[in-house]
Amino acid sequence: MPEKYIIAVDLGTSAARAVLFDLSAKPLRVVRQPYSLLAPQPGWSEQDPEEVVKAVVACLREIAGQISQKNEILCVTFSSQMYSLLALDQQNQPVTNSITWNDHRGAEIAELLKGSDEFRKLSRLTGCPISEIFPIYKILWLKQNLGGFGALKFVSIKDYVIARLTGRLISDWSVASATGLLNLNTKQWDEDTLSFVGLHSQSNLPEVVSPRYILERWTGKVSDIGIPGGTPIVLGGGDAPLSSFGIGAVHPGSATINVGTSAALRVTVDIPYLDQARKLWTFAADEGLWVTGGITGGGIVYDWLIRTYFHNTENLSRGQIYRRVDELVQTVAPGSDGLLFIPYISGEQSPGWNAKQRGGFIGLGVEHGVAHFSRAALEGLAFSLYRIANTLDSALPIKFDRIYMSGGLTSSDVWLQLASDVFGCNIFAQENTEGSAKGSMILASLALGLIAKPGELSRPDAEYKIFSVNEDNHKVYQSIFRRFENVLGLLQN
């Protein structure tokens, strides 16, 4: 019997990837096509949408070229970076570049709206805290700088790619729920918020549909890509909720941490949680499932550590650098001999959402060296995630006894054990899970009726690296975390 496949395309911050999965969710091949990140002004972060489309087409062409029988492709599906935004004219042609998640030009607008009681009430319905990371504030910045909205349409980079491939301008619930414009209860654009901002759902925004929505019409010469024209496209969703699916956190109450450029802690829930304190976000994941959590600096902290304290690493692989850091960290006891690191070196996101917050080392003495700085940096990152976990713990009637860990730092056993000791629960880690791409593959399998529940494609526990809590270290970290919070309180603006 011929093998059947699903192709999952992931639109990342730095590259597009296409992953070929068999129907057991095993990744068979991966191709990658990078694209540029543009910074035309300080604090700006953009991408050329045409370059992204070309990267996607190149990935699809290359991965399809590795399949002998094209009718074995059951569908193509998508996952995508969240918080992106670009403006289109009425012919769906870009008026702007795609503004990415780490663009800060909406910061002043977000800070101003924190003082609006009306807007604060509206924002709670969307599940998005008030922060420049969310597209609503980028839209308001564009309104000020493009002379109004007129007939412009505001879409994500995923929406634009799908439009170029199919001719349909639509958005899925999960990507739309990260805009600050979607009502989480109705899963449609929130008309009161749109009225406050000055947008119209019919003329300024795409139609919102389920992530399981299936498109069957391709535009252009699909034969040039090598995929049959009738091959379904399952719309897919955002990388945050789909990463939870991909690592196995598919049941209500299951928690996951993904450490990429940023680090996010998420809990899967079966009702949309609307945080009145606006410390946590909630995004739609699938029909009947949402993810609630927060975000903080992740790989950006680790990369800063490497750039600052580890020289002559240009010729080392990522794994070799991790091993060098791990070797040093293991020479220092938990607590870094009193050296404490506040990791908000580019502002605080969850739970305080303070863009002006900054980080630093506290308790520095002559006895401290590179090994202490390294361990303190990893401990500070873990504490920032633990703050989010504590916020979740006080907000939701959910307790979790394991955390699924994904992302680049899963290569570091020292980091994984340290995180287990800080959180006081077991860490289940998988390298090379293909994260959000695998999550979109699971979603596509649900849409096509191949499986009934997302958990059917979860991996057994034996396939994870499991890190158990060292209770003595956990007690030490509980004391240090109290100091971390006290110091942070003194540093906050």
pLDDT at 493: 59
When pLDDT is averaged across residues 155-181 and rounded to a whole number, the result is 97
pLDDT digits (tens, 9 = 90+) for 375-392: 999 999 999 999 999 999
Q: What percent of the chain has pLDDT over 90?
A: 70
In a domain, 75, yes or no: yes
Per-residue pLDDT at 1 exceeds 60: no
- By DSSP bridging, strand 153-155 and strand 98-99 are unpaired
Q: Which helix (H) or strand (E) holds 319?
A: helix 318-329
- Domain with 233, as residue range(s), is 5-240
What's the structural domain count of the chain? Answer: 1
Q: Which two tokens stand for residue 455?
A: 């958990």
CA distance 325 to 330: 9
In a domain, 163, yes or no: yes
- The whole model's pTM is what? 0.92
pLDDT digits (tens, 9 = 90+) for 312-326: 777 777 778 888 899
pLDDT digits (tens, 9 = 90+) for 330-355: 999 999 999 999 999 888 999 999 88
Per-residue pLDDT at 175 exceeds 60: yes
Burial label, 455 (beta-carbon count in 10 A; 0-12, 13-18, 19+): middle
Per-residue pLDDT at 2 exceeds 70: no
In a domain, 97, yes or no: yes
pLDDT at 450: 96
In a domain, 371, yes or no: no
DSSP 134: S
How confident is residue 303, by pLDDT bands cut at 50, 70 and 90? confident
Instruction: Give me the chain's average pLDDT, please.
Output: 91
Tokens 């979603």 belong to which residue? 443
pLDDT at 318: 73
In a domain, 487, yes or no: no
Written as one string, the DSSP assignment of 214-281 is EE----S-HHHHTS-TT--EEEEEEHHHHHHHHHT--STT-EEEEESSEEEEEEEESS----TT--SE
Per-residue pLDDT at 366 exceeds 90: yes
C-alpha separations of 26 from 30, 268, 279, 406, 441 in Å: 11, 23, 36, 16, 10
- By DSSP bridging, strand 170-172 and strand 207-209 are parallel
pLDDT at 222: 65
Per-residue pLDDT at 223 exceeds 70: no
In a domain, 381, yes or no: no
Strand partners, 8: 19, 77
In a domain, 310, yes or no: no
pLDDT at 432: 63
In a domain, 246, yes or no: no
pLDDT digits (tens, 9 = 90+) for 99-114: 998 899 999 999 999 9
Is the Cβ–Cβ distance between 257 and 247 less than 8 Å? no
Q: What is the CATH number of the domain that holds 156?
A: 3.30.420.40
pLDDT digits (tens, 9 = 90+) for 134-161: 999 999 999 999 877 888 999 999 999 9
